[in-house]
């Protein structure tokens, strides 16, 4: 059925044919190829809204694909070295949740690092699985959490032989990779699945001298955020599976939460982007890695900052490092990362990915050019000259080991009450608190609220981090469990 040629883009080709069919639309969407909403058409363009269409026989159906979407999935699987690939239009959040829902049910244990994206813990709320956290080491200079150590994973597996899966970040937001192959082997030897959150690792599949990808390591499932480094539209993603997974079962789990009205804008962007990566990815990501290395050298030459890279590799908790990541430590110039983030945007019109307590991340990919990197380096040098100060009062870490009291699902649905944040110490939290990005929870449902955590939240708010999660938008109040645990 499928022609496995990576220069094809079946969904894109079908939409091009559809354009010339002069179909009279008595279906949804209601804008009717843009005619019913001229303001939207003027804003997005007639070409764009004319292919914002509903599922129909010539264009296939995302929930049960049998033609062009199925062909696009097969081509994506071939390009990524997977047994099958699913096109996802709910972001990598949907891909991550589908991984967990496909392998875990209520009461099952899953081994994972605590510095996961909130989508992982959201999935635990949905399915009722129990997290077994492998608390990552923290780099004391940078204040960031690292990867999973092999002996910690081994210990967690030995102490929880009934666990059904191990989940790994590949890489973390900062570009740090665990020893994925060793973890896959340990999980499989124990009869467990290995799942990889590769939201920031699309380029691992196509670039040279990159960390090991999940499919090559033998992982069972991987959530790949194509819109981040892969060039597709925001909210488009892929879910990859290995040979040990049942394709029909996984699609059934995807269809529990994913829309029945799949966006053809998003799906065609995945199709075109996969083709681009398969044909030109090696060349593209070679240039990205070279730009990142150049920027690291230039930023480190400025002084005060530390743009870190592969010199951090220690063979275990930092088994490898993503060479495209431009992560920069700022605390030595006396500024929190979020303060540098704000200065870059407000005074230099430079929007970087995120800033946290001690670091910033400039996300580099195929659309970046050397002249923009020069502008970033110049702005950082000027910020140092104008704003450098004594940083002795800055908080020196971004990760606090949690005390898990009950499961995320139990806490999320338990009877709760709202109390002032400052009066919540010792209570059990029933909601999330996090800085977004990166979306790694400071507190998750079911965790004890401690003095250290409260100090971190207050400091992050003071410095201007974008805080999300609680019902109270001002995060002056927090929901806690009514019963004392």
Q: Which two tokens stand for residue 303?
A: 């002084």
- Which residue in this structure is represented by tokens 């799949």? 262
Could you tell me if 171 and 149 are in contact, meaning their C-beta atoms sit under 8 angstroms apart? no
Average pLDDT in the 262-270 region? 97
Beta strands in 208-323 (DSSP E): 221-224, 237-241, 306-308, 320-321
HSE-up of 182 (CA within 13 Å, CB side)?
16
Could you tell me if 231 and 87 are in contact, meaning their C-beta atoms sit under 8 angstroms apart? no
Tell the CATH topology of 282-387.
3.90.1150
pLDDT at position 2, please? 47
Q: Which two tokens stand for residue 407?
A: 């499961």
- DSSP 3-state of 168: strand
User: Which tens digit of pLDDT belongs to each residue from 69-107?
Assistant: 999 999 999 999 999 999 999 999 999 999 999 999 999
Residue of 159, 156, 158 lying closest to 168 (CA atoms): 156
Could you tell me if 109 and 121 are in contact, meaning their C-beta atoms sit under 8 angstroms apart? no
Could you tell me if 88 and 239 are in contact, meaning their C-beta atoms sit under 8 angstroms apart? yes
pLDDT for 423 beyond 70 = yes
- pLDDT confidence tier of residue 393, bands split at 50, 70 and 90: confident
Tell me the CATH architecture of domain 10-278: 3-Layer(aba) Sandwich (3.40)
pLDDT for 247 beyond 70 = yes
For domain 408-481, which CATH number applies: 3.40.50.2000, 3.40.50.970, 3.90.180.10, 3.90.100.10? 3.90.100.10
pLDDT at position 398, please? 64
- pLDDT confidence tier of residue 401, bands split at 50, 70 and 90: confident
More confident residue, 139 or 436: 139
- pLDDT confidence tier of residue 397, bands split at 50, 70 and 90: low
pLDDT at position 436, please? 78
Q: Do the two domains 10-278 and 408-481 of this chain adopt the same fold?
A: no
Domain ranges of the chain: 10-278, 282-387, 408-481
Distance CA 464, CA 384 (A): 19
Distance CA 300, CA 307 (A): 6
pLDDT for 126 beyond 60 = yes
Could you tell me if 445 and 432 are in contact, meaning their C-beta atoms sit under 8 angstroms apart? yes
Residue of 200, 228, 231, 227 lying closest to 213 (CA atoms): 200
Average pLDDT in the 251-257 region? 96
- Sorted by sequence, the CB contacts under 8 Å of residue 406 that are 6+ apart come out as 414, 428, 446, 481, 485
pLDDT at position 17, please? 93
- pLDDT confidence tier of residue 130, bands split at 50, 70 and 90: very high
- pLDDT confidence tier of residue 1, bands split at 50, 70 and 90: very low
- pLDDT confidence tier of residue 140, bands split at 50, 70 and 90: confident
- Which residue in this structure is represented by tokens 């959490």? 145
Average pLDDT in the 129-154 region? 92
Region for residue 349 given its phi and psi (left: phi exceeds 0; alpha: psi -120 to 50; beta: otherwise): left
Distance CA 102, CA 337 (A): 37
Distance CA 315, CA 333 (A): 30
pLDDT at position 28, please? 92
Q: CA end-to-end span of the chain, whole Å?
A: 58
pLDDT averaged over every residue in the chain? 94
Average pLDDT in the 367-375 region? 95
Distance CA 63, CA 45 (A): 28
Phi and psi torsions of 481, nearest 5°: -65, 140
Q: Which two tokens stand for residue 466?
A: 């974008």
pLDDT for 10 beyond 60 = yes
Is the link from the previous residue into 197 a cis peptide, with omega within 30 of 0?
Answer: no
Could you tell me if 165 and 110 are in contact, meaning their C-beta atoms sit under 8 angstroms apart? yes
Could you tell me if 270 and 92 are in contact, meaning their C-beta atoms sit under 8 angstroms apart? no
Q: Which two tokens stand for residue 22?
A: 């002069």
Instruction: Name the burial class of residue 227, with classes exposed (0-12), middle (13-18) and buried (19+) by CB atoms within 10 angstroms of its CB.
Output: buried
- pLDDT confidence tier of residue 181, bands split at 50, 70 and 90: very high
Phi and psi torsions of 182, nearest 5°: -65, -40
Q: Which two tokens stand for residue 218?
A: 């033998």
Tell me, what DSSP letter sits at residue 59? G
- pLDDT confidence tier of residue 316, bands split at 50, 70 and 90: very high
pLDDT at position 4, please? 54
**Residues 371, 373, 378: CA angle, nearest 5 degrees:** 95
pLDDT at position 204, please? 98
Q: Which two tokens stand for residue 360?
A: 């910033």
């Amino acid at each position: 059925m499928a022609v496995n040629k990576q220069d094809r883009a079946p969904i894109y080709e079908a939409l091009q044919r559809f354009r010339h069919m002069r179909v009279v639309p008595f279906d949804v969407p209601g804008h009717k190829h843009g005619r019913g909403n001229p303001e939207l058409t003027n804003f997005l363009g007639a070409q764009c809204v004319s292919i914002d269409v509903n599922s129909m026989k010539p264009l296939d159906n995302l929930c049960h694909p049998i033609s062009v979407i199925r062909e696009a999935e097969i081509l994506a699987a071939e390009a990524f070295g997977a047994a099958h690939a699913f096109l996802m239009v709910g972001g990598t959040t949907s891909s991550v949740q589908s991984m967990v829902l496909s392998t875990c049910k209520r009461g099952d244990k899953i081994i994972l690092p605590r510095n996961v994206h909130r989508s992982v813990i959201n999935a635990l709320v949905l399915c009722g699985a129990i997290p077994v956290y492998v608390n990552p080491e923290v780099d004391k200079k940078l204040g960031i959490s690292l990867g999973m150590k092999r002996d910690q994973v081994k210990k967690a597996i030995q102490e929880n032989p009934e666990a059904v899966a191990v989940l790994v970040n590949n890489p973390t937001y900062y570009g740090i990779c665990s020893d994925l192959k060793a973890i896959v082997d340990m999980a499989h030897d124990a009869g467990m699945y290995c799942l990889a959150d590769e939201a920031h690792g699309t380029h691992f599949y196509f670039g040279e001298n990159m960390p090991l990808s999940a499919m090559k390591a033998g992982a069972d499932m991987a959530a790949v955020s194509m819109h981040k480094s892969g060039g597709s539209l925001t909210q488009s993603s892929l879910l990859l599976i290995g040979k040990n997974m049942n394709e029909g079962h996984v699609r059934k789990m995807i269809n529990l939460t994913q829309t029945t009205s799949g966006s053809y804008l998003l799906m065609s962007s995945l199709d075109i982007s996969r083709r681009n990566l398969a044909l030109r990815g090696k060349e593209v990501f070679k240039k990205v890695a070279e730009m990142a290395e150049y920027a690291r050298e230039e930023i480190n030459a400025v002084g005060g900052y530390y743009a870190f890279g592969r010199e951090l590799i220690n063979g275990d908790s930092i088994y490898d490092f993503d060479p495209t990541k431009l992560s920069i430590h700022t605390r030595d110039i006396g500024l929190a990362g979020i303060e540098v983030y704000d200065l870059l945007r407000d005074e230099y019109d430079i929007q970087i990915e995120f800033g946290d307590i001690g670091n910033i991340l400039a996300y580099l990919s195929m659309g970046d050019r050397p002249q923009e990197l020069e502008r970033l380096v110049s702005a950082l040098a000027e910020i140092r000259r104008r704003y450098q100060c004594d940083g002795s009062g800055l908080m020196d870490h971004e990760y606090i080991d949690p005390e898990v009291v009950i499961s995320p699902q139990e806490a999320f649905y338990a009877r709760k009450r709202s109390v002032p944040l400052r009066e919540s110490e010792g209570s059990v939290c029933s909601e999330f608190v996090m800085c977004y990005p990166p979306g790694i929870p400071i507190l998750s449902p079911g965790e004890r609220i401690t003095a250290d955590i409260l100090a971190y939240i207050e400091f992050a708010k003071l410095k201007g981090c974008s805080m999300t999660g609680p019902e109270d938008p001002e995060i002056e109040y927090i929901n806690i469990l009514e019963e004392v645990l």
